[in-house]
Amino acid sequence: MANIAVFGAGYIGLVTAACLADLGHTVAVRDIQQDRVDRLRAGEVPIHEPGLGELIARNTERLTFTLNADDALAGAEIVYICVDTPPTMAGDADLSRVWSVVNSLKGATDLRAVVVKSTVPVGTGARVRSVLNEAGLAHVGYAANPEFTAEGRAVADFMTPDRVVIGGSDEATVQLIADLHRGVDGPVEIMDVASAEMVKLASNAALMTKISFMNEIAVLCELTGADVELVAHAVGLDHRIGGHFLQAGIGWGGSCFPKDSEALKQLASNTGHHPQLLNAVIEVNNLQKRRAIQKLKQALGSLEGTQIALLGMTFKPGTDDMRESPSTVLAARLLAEGAKVRCWDPLAAQDLAEPWASTTRHDSPLEAVTGADAVILATAWPELREVSWEQAHGLMRRPVVFDGRNLLDPPAMRTLGFTYMSVGRA
């Protein structure tokens, strides 16, 4: 069993640390946020992730939390870098936090390997390698071990993954990192560092491409009278295509897709390559949200002075994460059109910045739709299927619904008297 230091106690770092501890390793987690470390030490889990609390609680003797890099590195044989890599002003991935960890490693005498889990541009591993060499750490191995974690199922994605990807500088390092994963139920794919870095970016781009592709087909379905739900289902039954990530709607958001698509685009542009397909995938996604507002305007005329209920704020159900949520764009566009926005979400934080600060927050979907001229369903929360839409009809000023996630049954909604619009369904 290994002694591991994990840098970064965000979604990825915490899940990695807790799962490695559960596999029997001793893990010290270092974060720069005092509040986060204090809460973790007190047994509180600062993020919403199913199963993570239990995992941390049952491994307390193997899991420590610290603000101090040297404390985390004392005795560490392996360092996992799990810090965030947000976009810079130029749209590239900002690696300053990665460098700050790498630069703190000089005195770590027991170190055998540095592993990057953060999503980084292809070529980062080679740069880290030379910095390690210059710091007198040429004997320390390097590996890229990207994560393919979806929020809301992060623990399961670590313990039973579709694959573990390890890109290493040498065989011994790769074996060391593969051994850490003993107990993880999934195939291990071994490759060079650059390829492992690319697997992460290409996997996300492939998923985004599937969604944007089906969103484009949804537009064509609307124009031709076809139904995208039937089309996506039957297309997905072809095993060469697969049924996942073909759900049409108002598009993708979250902490990874928008940032990683931009980073891949800039990585391509920096080499002088024009990433045509990726650009189209991003553009289709941006348009999807604008089309939602367009449809509301077609039903209501001007949105000036209207009350619009926005049901669902997070970027997907099962998380409290608001990062790059399509809902935020909708809220901002509605306010810009002069509408009043009445929101509901079961998990989103209460004290959010603009545009949310200019909206009102309601405790239930029915409260939010009261007096509304239209409703937008923006996140596929299962609660929205359970709403009594008959009762909602009675509470609304005008019975207009735009279902941005195709959650409800069109004939049933029309029978109730709604002007019901969705994505790609006639």
Is 347 a binding residue for ligand UDX by CB under 6 A? The answer is: no
Binders of ligand UDX in range 149-168 (CB under 6 A): 149-151
Q: Half-sphere exposure of 95 toward its Cβ, with a 13 Å CA cutoff?
A: 16
Cβ of residue 418: shortest distance to ligand UDX, in angstroms? 23
Q: Which one of the spans 141-149, 386-394, 395-403, 408-416 is the region binding ligand UDX (CB under 6 A)? A: 141-149
**Rounded to 5 degrees, what are φ and ψ at 392?**
-60, -40
CB of 274 to ligand UDX, least distance (A): 25
Please report how close the Cβ of residue 152 comes to ligand UDX at its closest, in angstroms: 7
Supply the DSSP string of 334-352, one letter for each residue.
HHHTT-EEEEE-SSS-SS-
249 sits near ligand UDX (criterion: CB under 6 A): yes
CB 379 within 8 A of CB 397: no
Residue type, position 298, single letter? Q
Among 22, 31, 49, 147, binds ligand UDX (CB under 6 A): 147
Least distance in angstroms from the C-beta of 281 to ligand UDX: 12
Closest to ligand UDX by CB, 216 vs 367, is 216
Cβ-proximal residues to 395 (8 Å cutoff; 6+ apart), any chain = 366, 369, 370, 371, 372
**343 catalytically annotated:** no
Smallest distance from ligand UDX to CB 124, Å: 17
Q: Are 265 and 278 in contact (CB under 8 A)?
A: yes
Distance in angstroms (rounded) separating the CA atoms of residues 324 and 301: 28
Candidates 8, 121, 254, 410; binder of ligand UDX (CB under 6 A) is 254
Residues 202-241 that bind ligand UDX (CB under 6 A): 204, 207, 211
Rule CB under 6 A: is residue 253 a binding residue for ligand UDX? yes
Residue 58 near residue 95, CB atoms below 8 Å? no
Our CA angle for 190, 262, 14, nearest 5°, is: 55
Residue appearing with tokens 């049933």: 412
Instruction: Tell me which of 19, 82, 256, 343 is the catalytic residue.
Output: 256
What is the x/- site pattern for ligand UDX, positions 96-115, by CB under 6 A?
--------------------
| SS3 track for 51-111 | CHHHHHHCCHHHEEEECCHHHHHCCCCEEEECCCCCECCCCCECCHHHHHHHHCCCCCCCC
316 is a contact residue toward ligand UDX (CB under 6 A) = yes
8 binds ligand UDX (CB under 6 A): no
The nearest distance, CB 176 to ligand UDX, in angstroms, is 24
Using CB under 6 A, which of the segments 30-38, 48-56, 244-252, 369-377 binds ligand UDX?
A: 244-252
Among 74, 148, 216, 299, which residue interacts with ligand UDX (rule: CB under 6 A)?
148
* Torsion (CA) 196, 200, 205, 208 in degrees, nearest 10: 150
* Positive or negative: CA dihedral 163, 169, 171, 175: negative
Contacts with ligand UDX, residue ranges (CB under 6 A): 147-151, 204, 207, 211, 245-247, 249, 251-257, 315-316
Active site residue ranges: 256
